[in-house]
A and B are shown apart, each in its own frame.
Chain A
């Protein structure tokens, strides 16, 4: 009977599948989650680069526990359901001892639930939402920016110190946008700086209406919490309607202002645009940072532009370091080792907070920079200690 033959074939294939996943156990696999496809695929590319350099460095030193280190990079597509499924795959199919990465808050919030369910240690690098560490899951760590930190220590004081009189907050309707906008509103209220808030759809292309509304309010700075291509359109159109450069624009995330296509899409409207970053060629806080920069140039023939290459590099290093110190691949041992981390990475010395009940639990916030495009060159304008130039306001 035809049916029987099909069934046997199917069963054979499934057995094959199950068996093949159990092979090869003489490398240590670290899981990575990130958007390799979808609107933020540029980050996936950045991750790939950072991972490559991290593996070079780790394996050159002999690997971890005597074995070479390998990375399994699962795609999240930038959406939470795929992210949860990617994490689940890493936990159940590849059975990795630890997972690192992620650049979307919504995905991260979904992944931490899976991490908790399967008890797999997870170090996040570029998902900023407070709740990720505020939930105090013992398996979850973050070596990267957190919304409250970014706003409290950088954006809000920047606005205050530079004497901006009226702020327009534009936020996309994503988890990150909502979170960071709320924190900004709180801080600005405390500083007594007037502001208006506008919400936009995540995949908007046409901002003329919103920009016209903003223009009516006459702000002198716009905090643009828009990620991805939307930001390019926003910046270009703000110029067309005559809003900028009189009113400055700050890209609250950073990478879109650094993508190759930024200048092509934005034209001269990019002049004087501000953006968040954690990397600049003249700002080397540690020797590791310098080594990363040089090795990146050697390997890819260009300077690193997207700071997420460094973020992922950092967390891969942290993971490898934790496994080494734990001398085991067991999850409890790794968590204990992580809590004791004292490692130099590109942005400083990693030490995770241990204060329960707040977002500071298992959180390490790297120093960040506010950079301005001046004559198509990156100039650090905040904080003062790291500044390489002065802020230019528009006319």
Chain B
């Protein structure tokens, strides 16, 4: 029984981690209809920045983390202005460009950061004994709570602030939004930056648990895509639910069916969803 609880907990923690990783993609897809294939690379770049800032430059981790996220935000804005903006409306080109960009960044990461996995220092160490039944790493628990914090922050941003409202306006009806005075170019730019920043935040928060490597980015991107499709493109609720679902299924599947196929569950879900309910759990049918 305690084993089952452990799997469940792990599924939940991984689930929330999946969710914040996926929100970055979901935001961009929902607003700009662009799939950011370079998501995983932004994630690892943030992780590497965080690592180098705190290790080589001695910046305290609590400052290194937000700083890295901010760098990635700037990178995202730069990406949008130079590469994505010209491809508006042409889905094919935005796919190709972000796909190629992801390969470029992957190789650049290899050259710049080297092939070894790097891990920013843990904020806490050791493990906690949960209800006396099993042990669970402290850093993971901390990450869990930070991730929930980020999720709540994003929900607040989208639902309550003016920026959030303009984002929702643009995603629902671009024409009308600009008619009522929303500068949709600016919204796009900031949203892409935000999406990138979220990828970075996920990286920065998760890197202390799972060290970043240049080759790990594709798995991260793919994972995020599964969550986004599962939950519904553009739906934040969907990311959370999708992320939790994926986390649970992967962990329980690995535990009770086969440890070797843990990633396959995710992809099979992706294909099943795309075939039977492409708009996801919370997505809108009118696509």
Cβ of B182 < 8 Å from any Cβ of A? no
A241 & B127 in contact (Cβ 8 Å cutoff): yes
Residue in contact with B259 in the complex, picked from A40, A209, A265, CB distance below 8 Å? A209
How many Å lie between the Cα of A66 and that of B215 in the bound state? 45
Nearest B residue to A240 via CB reads B137
Shortest CB-to-CB span from B217 to chain A, Å, is 12
A267 & B125 in contact (Cβ 8 Å cutoff): yes
How many Å lie between the Cα of A208 and that of B209 in the bound state? 12
Say whether, besides A173-B260, A241-B127, A209 and B116 are in contact (CB < 8 Å): no
How would residues 235 to 275 of chain B score, 1 for a CB under 8 Å from any chain A CB and 0 otherwise?
00000000000000001001100011011000000000000
Nearest A residue to B255 via CB reads A209
Q: How many residues of A contact B (CB 8 A)?
A: 36
How many Å lie between the Cα of A212 and that of B6 in the bound state? 8
How would residues 111 to 123 of chain B score, 1 for a CB under 8 Å from any chain A CB and 0 otherwise?
0001111110010
Cβ of A203 < 8 Å from any Cβ of B? yes
Contact residues in B for A210 (Cβ distance below 8 Å): 254, 259
Shortest CB-to-CB span from B145 to chain A, Å, is 17
Cβ of A285 < 8 Å from any Cβ of B? no
Cβ of A107 < 8 Å from any Cβ of B? no
Q: How many residues of B contact A (CB 8 A)?
A: 33
Cβ of B216 < 8 Å from any Cβ of A? yes
How many Å lie between the Cα of A212 and that of B137 in the bound state? 13
B260 & A229 in contact (Cβ 8 Å cutoff): no
A212 & B211 in contact (Cβ 8 Å cutoff): no
Cβ of A281 < 8 Å from any Cβ of B? no
B255 & A213 in contact (Cβ 8 Å cutoff): yes
How many Å lie between the Cα of A70 and that of B215 in the bound state? 32
B136 & A232 in contact (Cβ 8 Å cutoff): no
Q: Can you add 17 more A-B contacts, CB < 8 Å, to A201-B262, A229-B116, A241-B127?
A: A38-B115, A41-B114, A41-B116, A173-B260, A198-B259, A205-B216, A206-B10, A206-B14, A208-B10, A209-B255, A213-B259, A229-B211, A239-B127, A265-B117, A265-B119, A267-B122, A267-B125
Instruction: Give me the interface of A with B, judged by CB distance under 8 Å.
Output: 37-42, 173, 198-201, 203-206, 208-210, 212-213, 216, 229, 232-233, 237, 239-242, 259-261, 264-265, 267-268
Can you identify 6 A-B contacts, CB atoms within 8 angstroms? A200-B259, A203-B215, A213-B3, A240-B136, A260-B116, A265-B117
